[in-house]
Structure 1
Amino acid sequence: MTSSSVTGLWKKLSNKFSKPTQYAPPSATIIPRDEHCVSRKHINDAAIKVIRRLNEEGFDAYLVGGGVRDLLLGGQPKDFDIATNATPEQVRGAFRNSRIIGRRFRIVHVRFGSEIIEVTTFRGGHDAPSTSASNNVQRNKHSARTESGMLTRDNVYGSVNEDAARRDLTINALYYSSRDFCVYDYVGGMRDLEQKLIRIIGDPETRYREDPVRMLRVVRFAAKLNFDIEQHTEEPLKRLAPLLTDISAARMFDEVIKLLMSGQGLQTYALMQRYGLFSPLFPSTQKMLNQHEPAAETIIQQGLINTDARIAENKPVTPAFIYAVILWPVVKRIHKEILDSGVPEIPALHQAAERVLRKQQLTVAIPKRFSLPMRDIWELQSRLTRRSGKRAELLLDHRYFRAGFDFLLLREQAGEIEPGLGQWWLAFQEAHIDTRGAMLTQIPASDDKPRTSRRRRSPRKPR
């Protein structure tokens, strides 16, 4: 839908909206087929099959969330999610190719080959739960929340209008029905699409306390869509940012990937810094940034610029690289401290990496399938400076050579090291084997010496 058509539609509907209520708006504004651009031909076949099957089983089912939002904005969604009044067990019974996942909020994954359609049951409001004095957690049969208000279990089911009120952002609470081809808007999502606003549904502080990750979603969608953040949605962000420390480190890993590897990493990072959302995730790196280390800020920004560019060009990216960039300033500082104590260069780097990664696991748990390549990328920074003999040829066969080489180029771009080494390695990769030999003979001897530090000897005891 073009900007002008959205504007025209909003003029027709503007008098029907007031400020979104916090829970369970009584009815939807229905946008008929001839007044929106969502079409079944733009919707994934698997998603249509899921909706049709649920309808045939007697259940309501809608395309919801980002799929509807992106189609209304004229884009092509990557994911198509379904909301229904069928329980997870009923959805599971309708699809043999499905499984129920999740504990905090149970959902069903319906698999079609390598493709997965996510199906959620309409969520409802929460009754006042009982309080367990032993752990300061409020509970009832289907929900639980901590003393601070964070939901740790959220399996209260309700109606479609309750479900809309329980979603996070107005622009993600639009529903499309393939029965009547209408879009249903319960909370003013069409208005905010037209006004390019990110607005949380309900009271922002309450919703952030229920799930602090919603603060990250606010900045992620603001960066992704280039929307402004609505005033009341924005106000508590910096004040409540420390609540992110209550989120499990494992969940945070996935959230960081969504934040920094979606193609708008630099803009997302800038918003995270503005609202204090980066510090709870990467406290050691933020400590260095607070000390106004220009090299640390520069290499992180350049790393995000490069990652955004690769994504725009449909080139592969790996979480290992961006995590290596974010933690490198801390690794480099600790490496220097260990070197100065007399430990040789490579063992000192191993120790530094171990200390940094162990501490980082407390806030963002990085799986070994990424932390091990990160260590190799960091170690290659020392090995790439030593090129004599067969070392250079052997390094070309290293499984993470390309990532280490890209990291070296990044350090040169950021001004952390003098330019030249990256260009040499680029030429060496492209050179004929005979030319490579000549290149190796021209390396200054001083450039190939690893840094060593004398161990401090204890004074000899007098005889």
Structure 2
Amino acid sequence: MPPQIIPRDEHPISRKNIHPDALRVMYGLVRKGFTAYLVGGGVRDLILGREPKDFDVGTNATPNQIKKAFRNCFIIGRRFRLAHIHFGDQIIETSTFRRCPEPDADGDGDLYVFRDNCYGSPEEDALRRDFTINALFYEVKRFSVIDHVGGLSDIRDRLIRCIGDPNIRFREDPVRMIRAVRFASRLGFRIEPATFNAILRHHREILKAAPPRVFEELIKLFAYGSGEQAVRLLYKTGLLGELLPEIARYLDQDHSQNREPVLWSWLGRLDDRIRDRGGLNPVLIFATLFFAPMNRILSEQAARDEEQERLPLHLRLTELLTPICIRISMPKLMTMRMIQVMANQSRFVPDKRKRFSKRGFVAQETFPETLALHEIGLRVAGEDPERLEPWNVLRREIEAQRPDSESTKKTAAKKPRRPRRRQVKAGVEKPNETTAIQDDPATETAGENVEIKRSRPPRKRSRRRKPSSAPQT
């Protein structure tokens, strides 16, 4: 089927909204005789009037040809060989057009794709992408948009539609199911019925995906303040029950009792914070996600066994959360930091039996996330967040007393280096006093006999003979 080509006067994309470095890459490849398009989510966001986060380029040049064209190019990846072209802090990701790999004739029915470096045409590259809204190309030469899969109509209808048979595409790469949830929640789109039913049918396939990829996608769900809607969709499609069954059971318990889970309020306040301040802090994201479910589990444990309540809160949270964090491939340092942030919430509850230093508490490295989580909790409870102002004042005082930079602290603590001793090379005699005396002309005129020390060769050690085993007569 021939592609639909939309001329400049029929689409809203302007070169003024494209990053200059992306234009530089495309024009550079075109001058070398290659085809180069702006591809992926950047084209989708420009059509929707949003500011793209990344500008990706697709071309028929191979990674090695791209590297020859740009000296600031680095090739990365195994499953996907990509060219990263660096312009200072900006990276333009440039990929070669690919096609779907041929199925393995000797396979066991598992469609999961481990390698995908089969190069192809622009049309084949569009057909191998995940969703129609992400398969649009922008041609810088004629300023036109190229649509091979009907992505423009799905953008107008606000639909997330899988390219090809979703039952096959989700088995090829199960992470696409989380991506469908992410795009639907972020853009406010609906998941098309055939695509949605395929997720319901194959949600268990997500356990075959690499845990680090899944963990990265979970963090991306909260970008642009869309976390609450994303977790709702994960729960509705069954993906949450596979990835975080503890949270799914918490929601099931609330729904069985016909009450609105307080978790949605926590995630809603987190979304407000991300929209207002920007940035993604994984420690704060997962601390907010786990706080309400873990509190209920701790209360149930204390009701069954009074000894549990006497244990330190940090220890109880560690026992609960460590297996979960290992399962989702959360880094160990991030896990420890998140547990500390959650355990610190008890410090805000006044307890006359326990005394602690407020200045020491505020000076902790985890205090910014601790205070942010407490602020979210206050907003969920409907309390005034102005109660946090004394903590903010104390925090500013302590930060003002800290040194300007860590480098000055390291320089001050650095010990002076010892002077290096001059080493004599092997085979070169070290001058001694007797040699120096002989070289003196005054000594030679005096006619004194000077003994010269000479280095002797090492003595050869004689090998001892083994005693004869013959009997003596």
TM-score (norm 1): 0.77
Alpha-carbon deviation of 1:263? 1.8
Q: What is the match of residue 124 of structure 2?
A: 162
Q: Which residue in the other structure is 2:282 paired with? A: 319
Once the two structures are overlaid, the 10-residue window that deviates more, 377-386 or 184-193, is: 377-386
Cα shift at 1:63:
0.1
Tell me the distance in 2 between the aligned counterparts of 1:328 and 1:245: 24
Q: Any idea what SS the aligned residue of 1:79 has?
A: coil
Equivalent residue of 2:44, what SS? helix
Per the alignment, residue 108 of structure 1 pairs with: 83
**Residue 343 (structure 1) shift:** 5.6
Per-residue deviation, 1:60 = 0.9
Partner of 1:371: 335
Q: How does 1:45-60 map to 2 (within 5 A)?
A: 45-60=20-35
Counterpart CA distance in 1 for 2:28 and 2:56 is: 15
Instruction: Tell me by how many angstroms 1:408 deviates.
Output: 2.6
Q: 1:172 deviation in Å?
A: 0.9
Question: Contact 1:68–1:176 at 8 Å: present in 2 too?
Answer: yes
SS of the counterpart of 2:240? coil
Residues 1:239 and 2:201 aligned together: yes
1:399 counterpart residue number: 365
178-187 vs 217-226, which moves further: 217-226
Distance 2:310 2:380 in 1: 23
Query: Is contact 1:81–1:119 with CA below 8 Å preserved after alignment?
Result: yes
SS in 2 for 1:313: helix
CA distance in 2, matches of 1:242, 1:106: 28
Q: CA offsets, 1:397-416, max 9 Å, x none?
A: 2222232233234334445x
The equivalent of 1:39 in structure 2 is 14
1:360 alignment partner, one of 299, 303, 325 = 325
Say if 1:335 and 1:349, in contact at 8 Å, map to a contact too.
no
Are the counterparts in 2 of residues 38 and 72 from structure 1 also a CA contact under 8 Å?
A: yes
Q: CA deviation at 1:56?
A: 2.0
1:328-387 deviation digits (Å, cap 9, x = unpaired): 34543554537946367564532432442223322x211234223202211202233256
Q: Residues 331 and 353 of structure 1 are in contact (CA less than 8 Å); yes or no, is this contact kept in structure 2?
A: no
Write out per-residue CA displacement over residues 299-346 of structure 1, whole angstroms, 9 at most, x where no aligned residue: 432232122212222344411111112223454355453794636756
1:313 counterpart letter in structure 2 = D
Residue 94 (str. 1) matches residue 69 (str. 2): yes
Give the aligned length.
391
Question: Which stretch shifts more, 340-349 or 319-328?
Answer: 340-349
Q: 1:202 to 1:90 in 2, by over 3 A?
A: same
Structure 2 contact 375–388 (Cα < 8 Å) conserved: no
- Deviations 1:168-195, CA, capped at 9 Å, x for gaps: 1111111111111111111111111122
Write the mapping of 1:168-179 to structure 2, written as runs, cut at 5 A: 168-179=130-141
Structure 2, unaligned runs of 5 or more: 397-473
Q: For residues 94 and 384 of structure 1, do their structure 2 counterparts lie closer, same or farther at Cα, with a shift above 3 Å needed? A: same
2:427 maps to what in 1?
A: none
Counterpart of 2:346, as a letter, is S
Q: What is the identity, as a one-letter code, of the residue corresponding to 2:361?
A: L
What's 2:243 paired with?
281
Helix, strand or coil: the match of 2:58?
strand
Q: For residues 172 and 397 of structure 1, what CA distance do their matches in structure 2 show?
A: 46
Amino acid at match of 1:303: W
Aligned residues of 2:317 and 2:339 also touching (Cα < 8 A)? no
C-alpha distance 317-67 of structure 1, shift in aligned 2 (>3 A): closer
Offset at 1:253? 1.3
1:265 aligns with 2:227: yes
1:57-96 paired onto structure 2 within 5 Å? 57-96=32-71
Alignment of 1:446-457 (within 5 A): none
Secondary structure (helix, strand or coil) at the match of 1:323 reads helix
In structure 2, the residue corresponding to 1:63 is in which secondary structure?
A: strand
User: Structure 1 residues 432 and 269 mapped into 2: Cα distance closer, same or farther (>3 Å)?
Assistant: closer
Corresponding residue to 2:93 among 118, 125, 148: 118
Q: Is the 1:296–1:329 Cα contact (8 Å) retained in structure 2?
A: no
Residues 123-202 of structure 1 aligned to structure 2 (within 5 Å) = 123-131=98-106, 136=108, 147-202=109-164
* SS across alignment from 2:120: coil
- CA distance 1:304–1:47, shift in 2 (3 Å): same
Secondary structure in 1 aligned to 2:98? coil
What is the SS of the residue equivalent to 1:151?
coil
Contact residue 295 and residue 414 of structure 1 kept, 8 A: no
Query: How has the CA–CA distance of structure 1 residues 80 and 316 changed in structure 2, closer, same or farther, with 3 Å as cutoff?
Result: closer
Deviations 1:205-239 (A, max 9, x none): 11111111111111211122212222222221112
- Residues 359, 70 of structure 1: alpha-carbon distance in 2 compared, 3 angstrom cutoff: closer
2: CA distance, partners of 1:250 / 1:274: 23
Say which SS state the counterpart of residue 320 (structure 1) adopts.
Answer: helix
Percent identity (aligned): 38
Distance 1:367 1:296, change over 3 A: farther
Per-residue CA deviations over 1:421-441 (Å, capped at 9, x if unaligned) read x765544555899xxxxxxxx
Answering whether residue 253 of structure 2 is matched by residue 291 of structure 1, we say: yes
Letter in 2 for 1:323: F
Higher relative contact order (CA 8 A, sep 6+): 1
User: Aligned match of 1:203 in 165, 176, 181?
Assistant: 165
Distance in 2 between residues matched to 1:50 and 1:27, nearest whole Å: 27
Whether the 8 Å CA contact 1:289–1:296 is kept in 2: the answer is no
Q: CA contact under 8 A between 1:241 and 1:280: conserved in structure 2?
A: yes
Counterparts in 2 of 1:431 and 1:43: CA distance versus 1, 3 Å: closer
Equivalent position to 1:305, from 268, 272, 277:
268
Secondary structure of the corresponding residue to residue 37 of structure 1: coil
Contact 1:260/1:304, CA 8 A, preserved across alignment = no
CA shift in 2, pair 1:258/1:289, >3 Å: same
SS of the aligned residue for 2:176 comes to helix
Select the residue among 282, 307, 329 that pairs with 1:342: 307
Paired with 1:32 and 1:75, the residues of 2 have a C-alpha distance of 20
Task: Report the secondary structure of 2:49's partner residue.
Answer: coil
- What do the CA deviations read for 1:45-67 (whole angstroms, capped 9, x no partner)? 11111111211222111001111
Distance in 2 (CA, whole Å) between partners of 1:431 and 1:45 is 44
Contact 2:80 2:115 (C-alpha < 8 Å) held by counterparts: yes
Distance between the aligned counterparts of 2:278 and 2:142, measured in 1? 40
Any conservation in 1 of the 2:251–2:261 contact (CA below 8 Å)?
no
